[in-house]
Structures are given as C-alpha cells and as structure tokens.
Chain A
Amino acid sequence: MSGSKPDILWSPHHPDRYVICDSELGLYRIGPVGSAETKAGTLPLSEETAATLLAINSDTPYMKCVAWYPKHEPECLLAVGQANGRVVLTSLGQSHNSTCKELVGKEFVPKHARQCNTLAWNPVDSNLLAAGLDKHRADFSVLIWDISSKFAPETSVAAEKIRLSSVDLDSSTVVTKPLYELGQNDACLSLCWLLRDPKLLLAGMHRNLAIFDLRNTSQKTFVNTKAIQGVTVDPHFHDRVASFFEGQVAIWDLRKFEKPVLTLTEQPKPLTKVAWCPTRTGLLATLTRDSNIIRLYDMQHTPTPIGDETEPTIIERSVQPCESQIGSFAWHPSSQNRMVVVSAANRVMTDFTVFERISLAWSSTTSLMWACGRHLYDCVEDSAEGIESMIEKDIATKMRQRAQSKYGHDTVQVWRNHLLAGGNDVQLKSLWFDLYYMKQCVEDMELKLQGNKQSVVYSGIKNIVKTSSGTAESRRCWTGSDRQTDVPRYHSEERCLALRLCGWISRGPDIDVETFLRSLEQEQEWERAAAVALFNLDIRRAIQILNKGATAEKGDLNLNVVAMALSGYTDEKSSLWREMCSSLRLQLKNPYLCIMFAFLTSEPGAYDGVLYESSVAVRDRVAFACMFLSDAQLPRYIDKLTNEMKEAGNLEGILLTGLTKDGVDLMESYVDRTGDVQTASFCMLKGSPGDVLKDPRVQSWIENYRNLLDAWRFWHKRAEFDIHRGKLDPSSKPLAQVFVSCNFCGKSISYSCSAMPHQGRGFSQYGVSGSPTKSKVTSCPGCRKPLPRCALCLMNMGTPVSNCPGTGKSDEKVGLTRENKLAQFNNWFTWCHNCRHGGHAGHMLNWFRDHTECPVSACTCKCMQLDTTGNLVPSDSS
C-alpha cells in the first residue's frame, strides 16, 4: 500500500486473528491482556485485550487491496491486488507443506497493466476471485479468475512476445486467462458478490453501479450514479447495498435499483470506509478521512422500500474508539458490535466494542424495561421490604386499584369514597368526610337559606369564620352540676356552621353532639368521644364513655384510671390535682386523653396544649377552636393552621380552605408530595365554583388522570370519569364533533330529528318488523330518504338513539330497554375517515378481525391499520 493508509481484515474463521496491511502484511492474534502468554511483544488493544504479532509477510510490494479466502481450508490464504493489476496469492504464518502450497505464489496477470482497485472472493464458489481494475481503452476492468485453473497453454504464445519483462514469468504460477472478463473500456472501483445469488456480482464502475450475471455475461443491470465506491451488501438483508461517493453514502435496494432508497447526510470530508455490522441488523459504520470518530447509522427501524412511502428514520451517532486519527476499522465477524481500529499513523490498534443504544420504556403500571443489544432488562427497585410491598405502596398501583373500585364515583354517600380507596388512609378519610359534610350542609341549607350560601359552605372554615358577626359569649355550667365554669364559650351562626362542617353537630337547630358521640362510641373511638364530651362541658358523659371503653371488648382497662383521674377534676387553681395533671398528662400516649387534661388545666383562652397537639385530628382542633377561641384569636389560629396544612399538603386542611384557590394550593402540595392526581381530580370536581375548576392546575390534574386511564387502557373508566365530570362541570362536555349528514338533503340526521313530531319516536319504540315505522330509523328524518347502507349487510343504517339529543332526564329512565337494544354499539354508524366507507360498527369489527382492507370491493384502503388504537383491547371491564 505504498505508504498509504492501513487496512484491517478479520480472519473469517479464527475469531482471534486479524491482518493489518499497510506496506506489508502483519498477522496478529488477539487475547486477554492478563493471560499467561503475555510477553514483551504483545500490544495492548484495550483494558482487557492485547495482540501478539504472529507473522509478517512483505513478499508483495505495491499492494492496493487484500482479500481473505473465505473457506476454512486452506486457512490464511490472502489475495493481494497490486498497483500494476496483478493479483498474487499469498499466505501468512503457515508452514510450507500446508494445503495451500500450490496456491501460494500464484499470480493472475491482466493483459494491460493498471491498478487493481478491489478484490472479492465468491462466498460460495470460493475458487472464483473477482478483481476490479482501472480503465484501459482496450481491456476489461472486471476480471474473474479461477484460482484452481492450471497454466493455460495459449499464454505461452503471448509470453514469447514479452519484451518488457520486468518480472520473470514463471509460467507454472502465472495465469493470464481470466474465467470471465466484464466491463469493457470502463473502470471498476469496488466489487462485491451478491448474497442472494452467488452468480451475481455488483460492481462500482466509473459512473454507474452494475450487476453482472455470470450465467449471461452479455447482460448487465446498471444504474448511473456517482456513488460507486465501497459497494457492500448488508449481511442481514441481502437486497440492501451501501455505496458512497466522496462524503455521501447511498443505500440501495436491489429490488428497486433505479435510485437510492436513501442517502445519508453528507460529510464534509471524503469517506474512506463503509461497513455493515455483521452481528447487528441495519447498523452501518462509516469512516471519513482525517477523522478520529466512526459514524454509526442505525437503520433497524427503517421501513423496507417496497412498503409504505414513509420517511425513513435513521439514528445517527458517532463513537470515538481512540484519540488518534483512524486509518481503518473492521467489525469482528462474530463478537457482538466489536471492531478493531487501526490508527492512520504508526499502526496503533484499538479493540473497541460499540455500546448499544439503550432504549427505555416505563410502563403505565410499575415496571421499567430497557433494551440494550440483544438483552431486555426488567428493572426492579431494590428495597428491604421486597418488591411486592414496594409496588403496593406505589401511588400508580393504588390509583389503578381505586379506579377499578370506582373510587370517587359515590356522589351520594360521599364519605364512602374513602372506603373505596381502601379505607386506610387518614387524610383521604378526612377529605371525603369534609366533602360529605359540605354537601350535607349545602343540601340542608338549600331548604332554608337562599343565595350564595352554597359557595360559603365550599369556601372553607377559614373564610366562614372571617365573616363572623354577632358572636355571643356564654359561660355554661358543667352538665349535671351547677358549678359555673370560668370557661367562656362562643356562639354564632358561622361558628355553628363550622362545627357542622367539622361533623360535631348534625343538622337541625339543636346544637347537640349526642349523635356524634354515639357514632364515635360505635366506632370505639372512646378517647376521642370522651374528649368531645368533655369539650361540651359534660364530664360525667366523658367518664361514662371511658368506662364503657374500658369494659368493651378489647378495651383498654387504663381508661378506667383515666376516668378516675378525670372525676377528680377541680377548678381550684392551686390544687395538687391540677399540678399533677398538667405535668403527668404529657406521659399519656393517646393525644385525646392528653388534650382533655390540657383543657382542664389550662387558663381560659390559653389552649395551646389543645390547639397545637398535632396528632389530634384537624377537625377536632378546629371545632374546639370554634367553641373556645374569641373572635380575635380564632381567625389567627385558623390562618396559622391553614398555612401549616398547605405547606404540608395535608388533605385534612381542605376543611379549612374549602374548595377555593387556597384549597387548590393545598392540593398542589399534596399532589407534589404524592402524585395522586386521581384524588385531586375528584375532589376539585366537587367544587362547583367555576374559577376553581378553571384553574390550570386543576385542569392539568384532570387531563393527567384521563391520560393515565387511557394509558392503562381503562377506557370504560375514562368514559365514566368523563360522564361524571360532565355532570359536575357542564363546561367540560365536549361539543359534538361528528355529525352524520344526509346524502340527499345535507342536514344532520341527528339534528333534524329533534324537530320531529314526538309521535314518530313513539312508534319506533315498538319497532315492529316490516312496519313503516321501522323505516323511520333507517331514513333521514329531514327528507325521509334512506340512509346509507352498511357495506357488509347492505341494510340501511340508522339507530334510534341518534334521534334523541338533549331530551332530558326523563329519557334516561324511560324507554331505555327497547331503544337501548336497538342502539347497541353494534348498530352504530362507523366509517373510515380515509376512504369514507363504513357500516354497522359490529359488522365492521367482525370484518377487520380477519381482513386488513376495506370491505368495499376495489377499495384498497387499510382502514383498521390507520386506527392505531383499533387493535388494542381495553384492560378494564365495562
């Protein structure tokens, strides 16, 4: 290679041997770096591998190209093309009595000397060696030699004429008669045998690519192009060929050879080598001059040129195997994505494996997958508790389960939604109870109160207590005793409403907690019930509740002790009881017991021990505050608590904020913390005020939740959610987007029927077969001409439901039986947006189960393939 850049060839059969050719041929063996045979002569190729020089061959000067014999035997036989067009067979590292003895040294000499540009062994008939030569005015440029051919007698005549014999022609080793001569008066710059038929040879000629067929050499297929260098067949796709010209690679499909199926982005420097990866489909590596990077083009997902005319996707990236400029590279024939690179100068070699692109997919459930090379990895989060519990805890899993249990859809017993959510989340429980009490108040007040009371209820306690007016202060006696308490208690309409929202008192004018206490007793929340009773100044009831709690099944006997302590209550300021209780109460584990003593031992108006006991439910603390804090203290406390809740994203705070902008802020920090867009969506939908629903955050939660349902293929659930949403937020109902218009009168068939006399519909409900009323359904209500026919059953289409838009509530309950049957999805209008053919939905679905093309004859539209989700199955039950 007369000082030109080096090249590399991997042995076709020894995975650890390769040849570097520059001015001479060097055979190397590659092995692990630390192996025992590491000697002084080894060259490190990478951190793990090193190469040992096995043999050098410098018998063949003026090398232009080299090709390695493709068969096992004789191994290590190389063909070398020289600058004067001669092809010499040579060998490396073989003993002289080896099988290829009679082949080594054989020369194949063209009639007219010119440079040999390329060599290619036939992969099947390995006796055939194709050589591509430069142009000569009177000679052929593609010569196919038979290496097994013996010395031809007729050449002796020619040999006599040789006067300029610079090389002694040893007639026994020189062959001058090629088996085939192709490409007269042309130049051949690159060659490769086609893998689809070993008789076909693809050649990059002077200005065209030509395919020669050895069975009929007078014929050739050719295409005029500049891209004639480095032709190479994709080993994984035998019709795909790459070639290049200067900086541009062209990819050809032999089945459609008129023009390249695609061309790759042009590089500023001319290309020197282009090679398909033998171990990975559709991966092409290219090298340009004076470059230290190798560009890789991934055509794995490129559609075949015969298929749809879509824009091909090619992923381009580059790798840098070494610091220095690259002279050449060669893919390893079997080791995945591996190559050896040799530098342009000094023959520095690098063993390099192209790291496969990683593609990552996160499923809408919990799993994470990634693909790398031929491996597919399922990723699992490492945790002490094991996978199952991790998945259990994941909000996506929870939301999925909740969606399946119709969480959020109970609009009557709103509090039940927390049970649908699993019933073990304190915050959700509090939230749904809040919403339940709000709803109750609204419904209750609708009867008595007018105006904007509804919005007041939903504006939260924070706003309710702000508007407080006419607060009355009272000092009541302890129930069952005539002792006057020095505890002032405050009353007002707003505080009363707040207590109702807290769930302490139920409807009705009587302010009585007895109902609440009983429900708490029923749920065995003894301590809480006792505390509530105490705060209502009924020590006796509190003691009674504690006793009950102690005696109940699984009750805590300690409650009796507490009851005893409680019964010793005295309002004497300096009593021992007070002193002991205020210090010992802190050791009580139950927060409710703790705040009971805090209440009893604190000065009036200074209830910090109660108000800031964070393990007590917000609703209880708020209710307490509403009873015992003055107009000055109350809003301050509520504001402070609200901010705390907002910051923490604690759903209990919804009681304070209501469904206002504050509430959205609170929900925002909740969603930020948990990702639970489901609860956020359902909760905010309850807020009737338009401005809350219009908040972009709320809209994005709702959209995200819908997308999530879609991603889970919970289409029915999504539809249910949309219906639910439409009821609560009528503005979210999408406008009708599709109308079916009559071919004759052009009116919408569903539209005009609302103007139809009611009678017509009445008849169709009976739907007597063959009666004139039957045709009502299948004809345009406007002009009474028939509706289009189904492409499959050839019946005119039409569904009864299509003619009752907006007839109101009555229709929902009445007449659904018969009409519903007729209007089953199977009977719906369906048509392809592309070819506009269609029919009954059921028929169409059946048809496309077995067919891809439109049922209308002569229509080749692949309707169902155009519908990307058409072949997916919902994963929820309807």
Chain B
Amino acid sequence: MELHILEHSLKVASIEKEGIQICTHGLIKLAFLASKTRCKFFSLTETPEDYTIIVDEEGFKELPQSEHISVADATWLALNVVSGGGNASSSQPIGVTKIAKSVIAPLADHNISVFMLSTYQTDFILVRERDLPMVMHTLSSEFTLLRVVNGETVAAHNLGVTNGFVKPKLGRLPRPIIHPLSSPSNMFCVTSLDPDTLPSVATLLMDVMFYSGGQKEPGASSEDSSHIRFFSFSLIEGYISLVMDEQTTQRFPNNVLFTSASGELWKMVRIGGQPLGFDECGIVAQISEPLATADIPAYYISTFKFDHALVPEENIQSVIGALRPESTAQ
C-alpha cells in the first residue's frame, strides 16, 4: 500500500450562516471558475450550523477577512491511500472502512488528530502539518510513503525522528464511543458530474448552496424534526464530488449526475452533541473501527463542528447496533 502525502497546504474555516453573503463571490469563483484561480483543493460543506470550507492556500486568498469567518489555526496536509501494486483484492470494503485499521487507528493510538474528507473519488485524511513527522513515523511500517512534489510522486524522506515519541498503547482496548450520535431521517446520495457540464447546472448548485435556508424543500415537512440540512461540494484536482440528500438530486436534470449502477443511497450518522474541536483524537477511529469489523462501507465527512458518517441505508440498523452496544437505543 502506498500513502501519498499531497502537496496542498490546507486551511479549514467555518463561515457563519449569517455571513455567507460576504463570501459568495469568492466561493463561486472557487467552485465554478476553477481556471480563474490557482486553487486545486476546495471543499464546501453546509450543515445546519455553518459552512465548513477546506481550501488550499491559493484558494484561501479568495476569501475575505471577516468576523463571520473562523479559521482553525493549523495548516493541514492531505493524505491519500493508494493501493499501489495493483493487487485487485476481490473483497473491497469501501472508503473509510478500508483504511480504518491501517491508518486511522494507528494515528489515534499516537494521539494524532485527524480530519476526514470522503469524496466520490477517494478519501482524504487531513493531518496537521506539524504532526507530519509523527504521522510518517507511525505509518512508515505499513505504507510506502510517497510525497507529491510538483505533481510527481517521489519517495518521502523518512525524517528519522524516532526518539521522544510516545510509545503506542499496547493491548488494544475497544475504543469507547464518547460522543452522542444521531441519525437524521433523510437519505443521501454521493455523486459526481462531468466538469464539462458544470456550467449548465451552476445556477442550480448556487441555489442549493446559498439559498437553501429560505426554500421549503418538498418532502421536508416541518414535523420531521430529524430531517437535516446537509450538502457538500468539493472540487479537488479537477474532480467534482457532491453529497446531497435524495430530494435535492431530483432537482437536477437527467444524465447530469453520475449514479452508480446499483443506485445506492446512504444514511447519515452525526457525531457530537457539542462542537468537537480540533484537538481531540480518536473520534474517527471510534466510529470506523466497529464499521470495519462489521465490514460496512462508509463515507466520513468532518466539518468544523461535527463529524458525519454515511453508511448504506440498508445497514443503518446494524450500524447503530454496532456503535451503541451499551447506550440506550433511540
């Protein structure tokens, strides 16, 4: 297995819902006019609380300074697991599940905080730049570490710092689930579209991104309190990825969104009652390890305040079962 350390230096920011209008110019430019910026990594996720932006330094320049924007102080690097060597193992747990045991758990054991971003194409594991030596030390045994420099992958230098690191906890205890979980009622779709067709749906996407608050969504009845507003758009190295609920997909014309042959739908598990912050580690591991054990595929999207896991709708009960063995079922 190869672990690619990508060259993007990323910032994670939160824009308050009230402040979104001052940022729309920059966000539209980043999302729809990629050729006008030098930004290569852009992600926008809307949750009921805020908008979470993950953007590289070039793209960060497009955003204004405002009291509505709070920025996590660290610079983040994206890691990407590639099954080099091409061994096409037939059993293929999807996404986060696949890397739960090999990446997420060891990092959690070393008290390294991670920030996850799953997309249609792949999973990015964001770590703080200052943690990189430790990350490399932790993962070098399991992975071939490669660094992307100017688009070319080169062998990453092992920094050779081994002294002074905390020894991993031996004797794996089952990770208790600390944070409260909730599962909204609506179902989600993870999809993508051809960048060439992006202009044709740009106004629709803008509407979905920025004007969702005012619009009554069909099917979202007021009594359905567990219905959640969640939308994610990312444009990373030319690839577009979208996460939206089923109702929203129906607003798109036929044949624009890429859909899987099986047309799978996903249910969300939302993690956290209080904003989680950036320093606590092991949250992703708490969720992903039981899923990996149960061989349930998952997407995982961290935002500024909470984490979100997407699991196949038919598995949602077994997921809840796996994650809340002790707590009272909802």
Contact = CB atoms under 8 A, between A and B. Distances in A.
A183 interface: yes
Nearest to B297: A138
B274 interface: no
Given A111-B261, A166-B255, A207-B148, A137 B88 contact: no
A217 B265 CA distance: 31
Interface residues of B, number: 43
Contact of A176 (B148, B154, B261, B265): B261
Given A137-B95, A137-B118, A207-B153, A112 B260 contact: yes
Contacts of B82: 185-186
Tell me what chain A mostly uses at the interface: helix, strand, loop, or mixed. Answer: loop
A166 B254 contact: yes
Contacts of A109: 261
A218 B121 contact: no
B263 A220 contact: no
B83 A137 contact: no
Nearest to B237: A206
B197 A83 contact: yes
Contacts of A84: 194, 255, 258
Nearest to B94: A138
A222 B260 CA distance: 29
Given A3-B196, A113-B259, 16 more contacts: A2-B197, A109-B261, A111-B262, A114-B120, A135-B121, A135-B239, A137-B94, A137-B120, A138-B297, A164-B259, A184-B86, A186-B83, A207-B152, A218-B88, A226-B150, A226-B151
Interface string B79-96: 001111111100010110
B86 A224 contact: no
A210 B84 CA distance: 10
Given A84-B255, A162-B261, A186-B82, A115 B194 contact: yes
A485 interface: no
A437 to B, nearest CB: 82
Interface string A162-182: 111111000000001000011
B122 interface: yes
A139 to B, nearest CB: 8
A591 interface: no
Interface in A178-224: 181-187, 207-208, 210, 212, 217-220, 222, 224
Contact of A184 (B4, B83, B249): B83
A111 to B, nearest CB: 5
Interface in A1-32: 2-4
B323 interface: no
A182 B88 contact: yes
A85 interface: yes
Nearest to A160: B262
A110 B196 contact: no
A217 B153 CA distance: 23
A136 B122 CA distance: 6
A163 B266 CA distance: 13
Given A62-B194, A113-B260, A218-B87, A137 B119 contact: yes
Contact of B263 (A137, A165, A245): A165
Contacts of A849: none
A183 B254 CA distance: 29
- 9 closest Cβ pairs, A-B complex: A113-B258, A138-B94, A220-B86, A135-B121, A164-B263, A83-B194, A224-B153, A163-B263, A164-B259
Given A2-B196, A113-B258, A185-B122, A208 B86 contact: no
Contacts of A225: 152
Contact of B151 (A114, A186, A207, A212): A207
A183 B86 contact: yes
Interface in B90-133: 92, 94-95, 118-123
Nearest to A140: B88
A84 B197 CA distance: 11
27 contacts: A2-B194, A84-B194, A84-B255, A112-B120, A113-B258, A114-B120, A114-B192, A115-B194, A135-B122, A138-B92, A138-B95, A161-B262, A162-B263, A163-B263, A163-B265, A165-B263, A166-B259, A176-B261, A183-B86, A184-B83, A185-B82, A207-B4, A207-B152, A212-B86, A218-B88, A220-B85, A224-B146
